[in-house]
Amino acid sequence: MSFLRYSGPSYTLIILILLMHVLSSASGKRHLVYWNSTNTRLTSDDFSVEVNLNDYLDILCPYYPSGPPEQGPPETLALYLVTGHKFQGCRETEGAIKRWECNSPYSAYGPVRFSEKIQRFTPFSLGFEFLPGHHYYYSSLSMDDGPPLPCMKLKVTVSTTTTGKKEQGQGTPAPHSFAQSRRTSAVSVLALTSFSLFCFL
């Protein structure tokens, strides 16, 4: 194939950049949180997750695979990143950053998933930057067309070390909110990238 003949510094640089990106993603853990009112950990006052840089926080929205719930309308909500002193109550506050809206409870492709990468620097305008040793607070509010919901909140602590507690599947997989936690295999990714590097060089 023609691409096997390509070589040179530019292709080597491209492959090395891709390799660094893939390996940094592979080293991160995924912390899964089912965000709905049946998850009693969210409605308690002490639900927290410890993460490391390059980890992912995966939020799964309320989901109804069998159609509308028997009692009342489906849960729809907006998730906010709030400051610590405004974390105690789930109410609209000045300075809160709206991160996502869970407004597709009947999605054809399963529960809507939002992923927050825990990183110090982000190239995206909608991304958020996290610092080791700091705490970050998420809370939610019901959407205007949704039912009243209990106060659901989560404290995220960014570890100052390179290894932290492994937390997967946080919360209860409620009847209308399910998914599996994923973790990228660093070995398979490294093998695939090495093969690509061999082909280009």
- Give the pLDDT of residue 175: 39
Determine the topology of domain 30-183 in CATH: Immunoglobulin-like (2.60.40)
- Give the pLDDT of residue 17: 55
Show the low-confidence residues of the chain (pLDDT under 50). Answer: 1-4, 6, 25, 164-169, 171-193, 197
> What is the rounded CA–CA span in Å between residue 72 and residue 62?
14
> What is the rounded CA–CA span in Å between residue 128 and residue 81?
10
- Give the pLDDT of residue 181: 38
- Give the pLDDT of residue 118: 94
Q: What DSSP element (H or E) covers 79?
A: strand 77-82
- Give the pLDDT of residue 161: 82
Q: What percent of the chain has pLDDT over 90?
A: 42
- Give the pLDDT of residue 12: 63
Q: What is the rounded (10 degree) CA torsion for 84, 90, 91, 93?
A: 20
> What is the rounded CA–CA span in Å between residue 93 and residue 90?
9
Residue 121, token pair as written in the block: 């620097």
Domain definitions of the chain by residue range: 1-28+184-201, 30-183
